[in-house]
Chain A
Amino acid sequence: MKIKEKQFLSEIDQHKGILYKLSKIYMDNHVDREDLFQEMLFQLWKSYENFKGVSKFSTWMYRVALNTALVYLKKDKKMPKSENLIEEIDIPDHSDHPEKEEQLNYFYRAVKDLNEVEKALIFLFLEGFSHREIAEQLGITEVNARVKLNRTKDKIQEIIKKQGYEF
């Protein structure tokens, strides 16, 4: 393996959670998630030569990965109908806090009904981005980011409540 590739994969390894969570937010089932994960990794690798190190690696990684997720096309595979997929979302239970796992499980089911920009907004919010930073990532105004994020949160709450979970 070439040095550059090794260096790239080592950087990715430190921030692989970004790709993992982003694929989980954007895709409903395991196969699609893996495909998106691979796609983001591939695009990051392709864009890596343009990474000059002016910003942090993770900042650059968020941008490229998110832009990839926004234009990603699901591969045409014979999949079960979308309604059935709700049951297929399985969050591996390797936590000592089953309640938190349950919360996440409900959350991931709810995100399924969001559009791609709402998914990006909630992802960046959960990753700890401020309104200004979200706006910068997406290229929209701070006010627009705040308005859209609040609407997205309301939408998620509504969906989760409909699922019968206390939010």
Chain B
Amino acid sequence: MNFDDLKKAWDNEDNSDLDLTAINLSLNKANNAIDKVRKNMRMDFYCLLATTILSLAGLIYAHLNLDVKPIIFFTLDSFAFLIFVLILFFFIKFYKFYKRSYHLNYDSRDNLMWFYYELRSFIDFYHAFFFVFFIMGLACGLAIGLMTVNIEMVSGKKDAIGRALSDNITNKFIYFGSQAILILGGTLLFRWMISRMYGRYLKQIKHTLDLLRSDE
């Protein structure tokens, strides 16, 4: 056998018994790396949207029903505003990438290359978004905590936060230790989530791109 024989056999291979009449094109579910990423993006989008709506509802509820000092509300609202601007920016970037993430009509390398770099930039942006979001959340918590302590001190009371921030080494250790665990745990969890949802598909596409690279 040589490749000419093989070609002849290949050309003569019969596929006339393939029946396309039973196919329902609207029922199909895609199962490729690009579609998986898009599906995960959709899920992320809805989760973030739900979180945003719930947070907003929580904030409105707090304004209407809780008796909190105006300075605390001002701080909370300022952070909330900044976070919502950030989320809005994220949604815009997210939507742009999602809408343009399909180019199966391109040649294979262009199709993969485009998707690879867009997905990588999206993941980088996602990381940055998470860190800013996380740090801002912590900063907001800290600011409100400090203000509460100040208010309590002025009014001559000392609550749990006040005690935590008092001159006791064990309390300080617990406070900073829990902050560190929160940051480290949150970061690790987030990285694992990103790697599961996007990273493995990015690796698969990178692998195929490497195979297409020139050996000359």
Which A residues have a C-beta under 8 Å from some C-beta of B? Answer: 5, 8-9, 12-13, 16-17, 20-21, 35, 38-39, 41-43, 45-47, 50-51, 60, 63-64, 66-68, 70-73, 75, 91-92, 94-95, 97, 100-101, 103-104, 106-107, 115-118, 120, 125-126, 128, 136-141, 143-144, 147-148, 151, 153, 160, 165-167
Contact = CB atoms under 8 A, between A and B. Distances in A.
B47 to A, nearest CB: 23
B9 A63 contact: no
Interface stretch (B85-93, B109-117, B151-159): B109-117
B105 to A, nearest CB: 5
Q: Which of B14, B106, B108 has the most CB of A within 10 A?
A: B108
Contacts of B23: 9, 38, 41
Interface string B1-15: 111011111101111
Contact of A13 (B20, B107, B108): B20
Contact of B215 (A147, A153, A165): A147
Secondary structure class of chain A's binding surface, majority of residues? helix
A52 B30 CA distance: 23
A144 B215 contact: yes
A47 B105 contact: yes
B20 A16 contact: yes
Shortest beta-carbon contacts, A-B, top 5 = A139-B109, A139-B107, A100-B9, A42-B28, A117-B211
Contact of A160 (B1, B15, B28): B1
A29 B15 CA distance: 16
Interface in B96-154: 102, 104-113
B15 A17 contact: yes
B111 A41 contact: no
